[in-house]
Chain A
Amino acid sequence: DTAVSQTPKYLVTQMGNDKSIKCEQNLGHDTMYWYKQDSKKFLKIMFSYNNKELIINETVPNRFSPKSPDKAHLNLHINSLELGDSAVYFCASSQDSGRQQFFGPGTRLTVL
């Protein structure tokens, strides 16, 4: 039983396109996150939602728009993709912000 799942696992697309990444957790957690991991493996938080409400929006370009239809799902939509958006994007969840986080397998986004 996958705790935190993401789709797709790989995403290859052209500059300027719009794409979405989906995330679902079946742990009953209240808090979900999106992280971006660059080529040097640095993990940077992008967004955090608690019970469908945006808690953290970490100076991310407004081309990135998270959407949480319910507390088990947090999707990430990216408009007008740029080369610099190429990275691995991780979804994670936790019961609350200070506790251990459970990570999804990641989505490797490549913008050509």
Chain B
Amino acid sequence: SQQGEEDPQALSIQEGENATMNCSYKTSINNLQWYRQNSGRGLVHLILIRSNEREKHSGRLRVTLDTSKKSSSLLITASRAADTASYFCATDAYGNNRLAFGKGNQVVVIP
């Protein structure tokens, strides 16, 4: 079964609005990570949240993790046109020696 599976939706919002995307997974994890991919570029790491953490902030990013529901959310506040990208969650599961990436969420921020 696929780990790190985002809600398969594209999100189109106005600049200044908040963007929220979700990710669910199926097995126990060490940590969960979020990455951004701009068009034609490689993935860039945004934030890592460990299994014993519930919430983490980095600038305009807020990540939550609910291990009982096996889900995470990424909130981007006060979005900017430059936030237009695909966002991937990835899980580090025990003993897997790899990150399992989800399908990605396309976010378009309209100036």
Contacts and interface: CB of A to CB of B under 8 A. Distances in A.
Contact of B98 (A45, A103, A105, A106): A45
Chain B interface bracket (under 10, 10 to 19, 20 to 34, 35 or more):
20 to 34
B56 interface: no
Contacts of B98: 33, 45, 48, 56, 97
Binding site of B, secondary structure by majority: helix, strand, loop or mixed? strand
A97 B41 contact: no
Interface string A85-112: 0000010100001111111111000000
A56 B95 CA distance: 12
A-B pairs with the 8 shortest C-beta distances? A103-B42, A100-B45, A98-B92, A43-B101, A97-B97, A103-B43, A41-B104, A105-B42
Interface in B37-67: 37, 40-45, 48
B31 A98 contact: yes
B97 A48 contact: yes
A97 B42 CA distance: 18
Q: How large is the interface on A (under 10, 10 to 19, 20 to 34, 35 or more residues)?
A: 20 to 34
B41 A105 contact: yes
B86 interface: yes
Interface in A23-69: 33, 40-43, 45, 48, 55-56
A4 B42 CA distance: 10
A104 B42 contact: yes
B31 to A, nearest CB: 6
B33 A100 contact: yes
Interface string B75-107: 000000000001010001000111101011000
